[in-house]
């Protein structure tokens, strides 16, 4: 086994923060419509929340373990945490600057007003006070801190306020705490006053600052300040848990009260008050972020969607529909194998397929994996209806899908209530595969008898109608008997009726997926050593698995031309002489989130192309059921190659990694970005 120190590995955490810097560059880009720029700031804000909730929390815990002197990336913890603090604080400051010095002033020129402090027109005074009394005063519980009323438990990422109070009679200074329940709106639309087409929004923080005195009627409120505490939100479920659903429900109640890891405070908050909050929650100095106005920006990502100003938004995109709503999806798949490229192609055929299957008397069974699907889901509704209609429905639903655990627990219960078979994976082996199998009686007209036929869907993305509108993914639909049999056997493995087996075309087990990728990479190395043309193109969301890094470095050393299209975290360092000089790393950040996983190997001219649900991360290759499948039809493989790989490598608007932690922006004037070209068809 090789040692990690034998080749360079960039820190996963720092690489992830660098990715967020590339996303934030979209908010800084004045060529992008203004409302879309606002959304990019919201996305980065949300990403930082999750970064501290999960990745940073894990590093912090490991740094406290005396046995662990180095992180998995080989970095010393004190240095790594310091570097993270610097990068994250810089990102926070950039968000604040672009939002308040650029985007909000530009929105005001368009008569769109985001009121984040108590500076609103005088004519709104009565309305705002009434609003505060109705929406806030009646539901919050203000607490004055003293011996009998200790500091309350602050819920993870909740918006809270600390007030400096002075008694009416004794002038004694004390502190008050107000925590806003999640159901209180964070922003309110101001009723239009006249025919002038203005759009004004008052944020809850402005109301709190203006009317805090109403919550403490027996005190003088000297001042008040907003703060937000981010807590460790990772869940630990024992591998020995007998009832995963029950164990998970117990852990979910504790998620909001994990150890504090980051504190966001008002830019006006005095140091003395910051020190008090910091000490109480045991937060590091470099995890104190100063924020003006709202901090949970992701809650406002759709705030301006209904404003009818087309020039402030991306042009409306209507996905292509490959068949009419009235046509049978079964008949369409019967004709030939199909590839859909979302969101350029509509996700409707997948939803329609399930709806048709739920109602078709000839359909016998439906088997499907679910990782993320949402609180409201046409997919899940169709599965429930299918079970109610007497179909045999089996759903492998992943309860441990991070931040979707509660949603999936609820769907699991609903499915079981209508008689569906529900399968849950083990805590140490998540099911991240995206597959659907439908069996149906079909009339064979030649012999005038019914036969059983299977229809399969495999994908690179989740069964989420919402995500399919903004995430780029491929869907593969087929009646290929070998592939359908492989899927059937994988479901048998998930249900426990089959032990490990060797599929004919698919790869599904962690060790199997890893071995297959290594075999394909090594084969290109052999061709390169023989002086033959060799080429690898891999597109994933993230790449940090040490074993795959080693084999990609080896391939480059042997002369293989390697293009890696990695949207986010990438731990490989390109351009090192005799090691990675044949590796090019591209990162595409556009209107849609690049999400598909594609693997191309030249194979001495006999090209092989695979799609997968798997990234090149340790979790995907060590602890997850992932399905990797070949696209053998040359026409379909070419569609995937052209739109998923070639156009990304030649994207007129992309980033190229030049060294550790450094990306160079590539912008070709008068040329459209790849995503725009695919939209145009």
Q: Which residues of 248-278 are buried (b: 16+ CB within 10 A; e: fewer)?
A: beebeeebeebebbbbbbbeebeeebbebbb
pLDDT band at 562 (very low <50, low <70, confident <90, very high): very high
Structure tokens at 104: 């909000």
For residue 537, count CB atoms less than 10 angstroms from its CB and return exposed for 0-12, middle for 13-18, buried for 19 or more.
buried
Cα–Cα distances in Å, from 524 out to 213, 470, 607, 612?
Answer: 71, 34, 11, 20
In angstroms, the CA 495 to CA 428 distance is 16
pLDDT band at 229 (very low <50, low <70, confident <90, very high): very high
Report which of residues 407 and 340 the model is more confident about. Answer: 340
pLDDT computed for residue 368 by the predictor = 98
Please tell me the least confidently modeled range out of 245-249, 328-332, 560-564.
245-249
Q: Which residues of 579-611 are buried (b: 16+ CB within 10 A; e: fewer)?
A: bbebbbbbbbbbbbbbbbbbbbbbeeeeeebbb
pLDDT digits (tens, 9 = 90+) for 591-641: 999 999 999 999 999 999 999 999 999 999 999 999 999 999 999 999 999
pLDDT digits (tens, 9 = 90+) for 486-506: 999 999 999 998 888 899 999
* List 199, 432, 551, 586, catalytic entry: 432
pLDDT band at 134 (very low <50, low <70, confident <90, very high): very high
Q: What is the mean pLDDT of residues 283-293?
A: 96
Mark whether 182 is an active-site residue: no
pLDDT digits (tens, 9 = 90+) for 316-364: 999 999 998 889 999 999 999 999 999 999 999 999 999 999 999 999 9
pLDDT band at 243 (very low <50, low <70, confident <90, very high): low
Q: What is the mean pLDDT of residues 183-210?
A: 91
| In the chain, % of residues over pLDDT 90 | 82
pLDDT computed for residue 506 by the predictor = 98
In angstroms, the CA 462 to CA 643 distance is 20
In angstroms, the CA 363 to CA 463 distance is 20
Identify which of 225, 259, 301, 253 has the alpha carbon closest to the alpha carbon of residue 47: 301
In angstroms, the CA 360 to CA 368 distance is 17
pLDDT computed for residue 195 by the predictor = 63
pLDDT band at 244 (very low <50, low <70, confident <90, very high): low
Structure tokens at 213: 């005195």
pLDDT band at 4 (very low <50, low <70, confident <90, very high): very low
Q: Is the pLDDT of residue 8 over 70?
A: yes
Compute φ and ψ for 339, nearest 5 degrees. -120, 130
pLDDT computed for residue 623 by the predictor = 92
Q: What angle do CA 610, 615, 621 make, to 5 degrees?
A: 95
Q: Is the pLDDT of residue 291 over 80?
A: yes
pLDDT band at 426 (very low <50, low <70, confident <90, very high): confident
Q: Which domains does the chain have, with CATH numbers?
A: 7-312 (3.30.1840.10), 329-495 (3.30.870.10), 510-680 (3.30.870.10)
pLDDT computed for residue 427 by the predictor = 67
Give Cβ neighbours of residue 230 (< 8 Å, ≥ 6 apart).
49, 52, 53, 156, 157, 260, 261, 262, 263, 264
pLDDT band at 3 (very low <50, low <70, confident <90, very high): very low
């Amino acid at each position: 086994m090789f040692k990690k120190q034998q080749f360079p590995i960039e820190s996963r955490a720092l690489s992830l923060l660098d990715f967020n810097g590339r996303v934030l560059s979209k908010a800084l880009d004045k060529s992008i419509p203004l409302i879309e720029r606002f959304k990019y700031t919201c996305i980065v804000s949300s990403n930082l929340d999750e970064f501290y909730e999960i990745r940073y929390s894990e590093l912090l815990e490991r740094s406290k373990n005396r046995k662990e002197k180095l992180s998995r990336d080989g970095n010393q913890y004190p240095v790594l945490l310091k570097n993270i603090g610097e990068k994250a604080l810089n990102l926070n400051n950039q968000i604040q600057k672009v939002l308040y010095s650029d985007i909000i002033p530009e929105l005001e020129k368009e008569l769109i007003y985001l009121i984040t402090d108590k500076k609103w027109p005088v004519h709104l005074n009565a309305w705002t006070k009434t609003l505060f009394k109705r929406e806030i005063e009646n539901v919050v519980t203000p607490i004055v801190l003293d011996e009998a009323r200790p500091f309350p438990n602050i819920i993870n990422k909740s918006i809270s306020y600390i007030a400096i109070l002075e008694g009416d009679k004794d002038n004694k200074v004390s502190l008050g705490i107000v925590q806003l329940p999640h159901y209180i709106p964070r922003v309110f639309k101001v009723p239009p006053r006249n025919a002038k087409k203005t759009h004004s929004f008052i944020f809850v923080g402005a109301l709190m600052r203006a009317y805090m005195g109403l919550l403490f009627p027996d005190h003088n409120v000297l001042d008040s300040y907003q703060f937000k505490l981010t807590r460790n939100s990772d869940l630990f479920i024992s591998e020995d848990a007998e009832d995963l659903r029950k164990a998970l429900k117990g852990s979910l109640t504790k998620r909001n009260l994990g150890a504090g890891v980051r504190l966001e405070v008002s830019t006006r908050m005095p140091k003395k008050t910051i020190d008090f909050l910091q000490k109480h929650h045991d937060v590091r100095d470099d995890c104190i972020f100063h924020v003006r106005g709202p901090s949970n920006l992701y809650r406002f990502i759709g705030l301006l969607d209904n404003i009818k100003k087309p020039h402030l938004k991306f042009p409306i995109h209507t996905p292509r529909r490959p068949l009419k709503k009235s046509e049978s999806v079964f008949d369409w798949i019967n004709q030939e194998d199909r590839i859909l490229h979302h969101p350029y192609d509509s996700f409707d055929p997948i939803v329609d397929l399930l709806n048709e299957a739920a109602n078709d008397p000839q359909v016998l069974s439906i088997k499907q994996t679910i990782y993320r699907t949402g609180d409201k889901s046409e997919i899940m509704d169709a599965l429930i209806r299918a079970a109610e209609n007497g179909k045999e429905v089996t759903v492998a639903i992943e309860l441990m899908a991070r931040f979707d655990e509660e949603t999936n627990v609820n769907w699991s219960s609903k499915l079981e209530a209508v008689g569906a078979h529900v399968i849950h994976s083990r805590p140490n082996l998540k099911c991240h595969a995206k597959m659907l199998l439908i069996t149906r009686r079909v009339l064979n007209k030649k012999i005038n008898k019914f036969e059983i036929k299977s229809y399969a869907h495999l994908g690179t993305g989740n069964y989420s109608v919402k995500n399919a509108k903004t995430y780029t993914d491929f869907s593969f639909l087929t009646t290929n008997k070998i592939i359908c049999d492989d899927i059937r056997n994988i479901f048998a493995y998930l249900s426990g009726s089959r032990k490990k087996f060797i599929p004919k075309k698919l790869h599904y087990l962690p060790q199997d997926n890893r071995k297959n990728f290594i075999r394909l990479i090594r084969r290109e190395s052999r061709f390169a050593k023989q002086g033959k043309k060799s080429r690898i193109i891999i597109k994933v969301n993230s790449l940090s698995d040490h074993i795959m890094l080693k084999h990609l470095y080896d391939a480059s050393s042997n002369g293989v031309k390697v293009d890696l299209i990695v949207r986010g975290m990438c731990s490989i360092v390109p351009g090192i002489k005799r090691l990675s000089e044949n590796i090019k790393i591209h990162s595409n950040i556009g209107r849609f989130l690049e999400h598909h996983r594609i693997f191309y190997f030249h194979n001495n001219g006999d090209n092989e192309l695979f799609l997968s649900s798997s990234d090149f991360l340790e979790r995907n290759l060590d602890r997850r059921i992932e399905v990797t499948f070949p696209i053998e039809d040359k026409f379909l493989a070419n569609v995937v190659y052209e739109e998923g790989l070639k156009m990304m490598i030649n994207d007129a608007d992309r980033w190229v990694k030049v060294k550790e932690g450094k990306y160079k922006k590539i912008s070709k004037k008068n040329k459209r970005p790849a995503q725009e070209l695919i939209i145009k068809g």
